[in-house]
Structure 1
Amino acid sequence: MNNNIKRLTIAFVASVLLLGQTFSQGQPAQKGQNPGKAEYLTFTLSDQVTKQNVQYKNRYGITVASHLYMPKNRDASKKYPAVVIGTPYGGVKEQGAGIYAQNMAQRGFIALAIDESYNGESGGEVRHVSSPDVFVEDFSAGVDFLGTRPFIDRTKIGAIGICGSGGFALKAAQVDHRIKAVATTSMYDMSGVMRNGWKNSMTADERNKTLDQLGEQRWKDFKAGKPELTPSFPSQPVTTIPAGLDPIASEFFEYYAMKRGFHPNSIGAFTKTSSLAFMNFPLLNYIETISPRPILFIMGENAHSRYFSEDAFKQAAEPKELYIVPKARHIDLYDRVDMIPFDKLTSFFTHYLTDAKQ
């Protein structure tokens, strides 16, 4: 990869996904933050599950909108293990997180797919802020909600993070001991890549230049009275990938901007100054303290992002496992149910949430 392409990739990835982007106490959800955009899923809802739109508040008082998936044959007299599931960075619960939640519900778990604060149908102003602290809190807020449902065993709650939310799930588990097991798929360390660049290629001079530019952006936003966003995906699904995109950008465009994964609530854009928080908030600095609770890292054999999982695996303490999906790219683990290892996820959470002693 030549220097021009490398710079294009870093800028594109960092600014847009890096673009690889019950009401309180369980009452029916109110209308979301995107009026006029009818709810739809990017996948077919299974007749083996029930889906409830739920809302609850995190500790900052922001309303988190989620979809709660349950087995349709659920025994009301029993308590079930549960998992809270975060979206790929820039995604929404109607996409990959919902696919994971539905499939885990089909396998006997209660599963909660969340919209991160400031995004999707969740609350929070200014819209499209990306906050590592708040996104991490959203996982713990999901545990708050799940652990107060009468049909859930609060000693058996795990977390799944897809892409960028893999880092948020791990960060939450570092301090939230109620999360008994964590799995990540196609993980991105958003704080690491924003501070250090793609594969840690950012120099100190480049970082300082970026910080200078972001400081200027804060003044610009303040004078304008509103924050400027990074580039967004098209407002309607397109049929072709623009010429000239590098392979990483093309892959994200394939998912988010085309029919495969397009959703109107998933615009791919965040406030430009959001990256300041990530550059100052390391996500994996205490990953070893999750032990003795287990971590499962799942990555595609051909994923451009695999170094994130490999590095995090090295940092983590036992028990831990690195699982490689043959031939899978990064985005294939968002939605390819023929490639996502749900049997592996099921056996992992069954062992550590259901079979193992607490």
Structure 2
Amino acid sequence: MTKNILTVFLLFLATDISGINTAIHEQKINQNHMDTLNLTKEWDKTFPKSDKVEHNKVTFINRYGITLAADMYKPKGTTAHLPAIAICGPFGAVKEQAAGLYAQEMAKRGFLTIAFDPSFTGESGGSPRYMTSPDINTEDFCAAIDYLVTNHDVDPEKVGIIGICGWGGLAINAAAADPRIKATIASTMYDMSRVTSNGYFDSDDSIEKRNKFRTELSAQRTEDYRSGTPKLAGGLPEVLPKNAPDFLREYYNYYKTERGYHSRSLNSNGGRNATSPIPWLNFPLMSRANEIENAVMIVHGEKAHSLYFGNDAYKKLTITPGKANNKILMIIPGANHTDLYDQKDIIPFNAFQQFFTEHLK
């Protein structure tokens, strides 16, 4: 290497290192200036508070600079570094609903847990509101892992996740992307990219139907830009039609009644941003599921309309050599899709505890 070339190289290296140091400094600044969120102080969950756990609000920031809000549940009287679980879902729900119930139940079983609102939703930041993204929402799970592995109450080698409904598919995608996730449970899961692009039971799986949908979404995008206000897609009906299919009745009975209604829940109210399906049409959510080496458990109800998502996701998983039981499919007899949202006598929490105890070690 000549002297001139060496000089140029050293100058480049010095500039590159300086850029890295600047980026680290800016990242610390960003972390110290997270969005100010308006966090509710009172207990406003859809389930009663347990006297066996400590509860408090926490926030953390994802890789896109969006501040996420979470409820932390910790077993009372614990001081040791605990195994931890991040929980989110169902798709369109908030942390005060099923995710919070799961978090509290797992905390009662010895885990430090957080139930978080995804970007653009609930008490979390992000604009425009009520938007979804396969990339950003997967990142939300990974950002929750960032928070947990750096928390002094957590053993960073013992961290897992639970995704419920549409967040079950996102949990599997996160597990494929982030090996810090040592164990994953997908409960009553949806593959949101598949149902968006193919319709239920793949009934709309054609180029013509997808292109028609893309045309409609593009037109709505134009209207949103003109108006300056994104249109909401609309949630569940206020009055359930007499001829409503069973799965719609199940959703209604959870989201629109005292059982699961919450004022910040998209599914309980006006629904997501109408253009939210755009990226899901082209995003292959399960494309790397076969590369997950850590443990995965898929749990589904026998009577759930969504069971085919869980069955097909399980088929994509690969048993890790030497770990014969690290990929599990559990079917709950007689259970429908929303039974696994909040029916504590049906949700297999003891099996969850056994799974995480075995694989978070």
Specify the TM-score bucket, using the shorter chain as the normaliser. 0.7 to 0.9
Spell out the pairing of 1:32-43 with structure 2 (5 A cutoff). Answer: 32=39, 40-43=44-47
Match of 2:220 among 200, 217, 221: 217
Which portions of structure 1, spanning 4 or more consecutive aligned residues, are displaced by more than 3 angstroms? none
Structure-to-structure mapping, 1:143-182, within 5 angstroms: 143-182=145-184
* Alpha-carbon distance in structure 2 between the residues aligned to 1:221 and 1:191: 23
- In structure 2, the partner of 1:58 is 62
Q: Show the counterpart of 1:69.
A: 73
Deviation at 1:30, TM superposition (A): 4.3
Q: Post-superposition shift, 1:207?
A: 1.2
TM-score between the two structures when normalised by the length of structure 1: 0.86
Give the superposition deviation at 1:70. 0.3
Question: Take 1:343 and 1:38, find their aligned partners in 2: how far apart are those partners?
Answer: 29
Structure-2 residue corresponding to 1:97: 99
Indicate if the aligned counterparts of 2:130 and 2:266 stay in contact, CA closer than 8 A: no
Are the aligned partners of 2:117 and 2:123 in contact in 1 as well (CA < 8 Å)?
Answer: yes
- Matched-pair contact (CA < 8 Å) for 2:37–2:124: no
Q: CA distance change for structure 1 residues 106 and 39 in 2, over 3 Å: closer, same or farther?
A: closer
Q: Distance in 1 between matches of 2:178 and 2:348?
A: 26
Distance 2:357 2:285 in 1: 27
TM, length-normalised to structure 2: 0.85
Q: Deviations over 1:149-169 (max 9, x none)?
A: 111011110010000000111
Q: Structure 1 stretches of 5 or more lacking a match? A: 1-23
Instruction: Provide the residue aligned with 1:300 in structure 2.
Output: 301
Q: Deviations over 1:23-63 (max 9, x none)?
A: x69x9x8414xx8x965010001000011111111111101
Mapping for residues 272-311 of structure 1, pairs under 5 Å: 272-291=274-293, 293-311=294-312
**Structure 2: distance between partners of 1:161 and 1:134:** 15
SS in 1 for 2:146: helix
Runs of at least 5 residues in structure 2 that lack an aligned partner in the other structure: 1-30, 320-325
Shift of 1:244: 3.0
Q: Which has the larger radius of gyration?
A: 2
Give aligned pairs, total: 320
State the SS of the aligned residue for 2:253: helix
Query: Are the equivalent residues in 2 in contact too, given 1:85–1:100 (CA < 8 A)?
Result: yes
Q: Which residue of 2 aligns with 1:329?
A: 336
The residue matched to 1:104 in structure 2 has which SS? helix
Q: Is the 8 A contact 1:69 1:112 kept in 2?
A: yes
1:294 shift after superposition? 1.1
Higher relative contact order (CA closer than 8 Å, sequence separation 6+): 1
Aligned match of 2:327 in 320, 334, 347?
Answer: 320
In structure 1, distance between residues paired with 2:332 and 2:193: 25
3-state SS of 2:297 partner: strand
201-210 or 158-167, which deviates more? 201-210
Closer/same/farther in 2, CA of residues 156 and 201 from structure 1, 3 Å limit: same
Q: CA deviation at 1:73?
A: 2.2
Give, in whole Å, the separation in 2 of the partners of 1:328 and 1:56: 35
SS across alignment from 1:179: coil
- What is the distance in 1 between the residues matched to 2:46 and 2:284? 32
Measure the CA separation in 2 of the matches of 1:72 and 1:222.
50
**Do 2:37 and 2:123's aligned partners in 1 also have CA atoms closer than 8 Å?**
no
Percentage of identical aligned residues: 43
Deviation per residue, 1:278-312 (Å, 9 max, x gap): 11212110001112x11100001111110000000
Deviation at 1:233, TM superposition (A): 4.4
Q: 1:348 corresponds to which residue?
A: 355
- Cα distance between partner residues in 2 of 1:39 and 1:263: 12
Spell out, residue by residue over 1:75-102, the C-alpha distance to the aligned partner (whole angstroms, 9 max, x if none): x2x1110010011010010010011000
What is the identity, as a one-letter code, of the residue corresponding to 2:137?
F
Alignment partner of 1:260 is 2:267: no
- What letter is aligned with 1:323? M
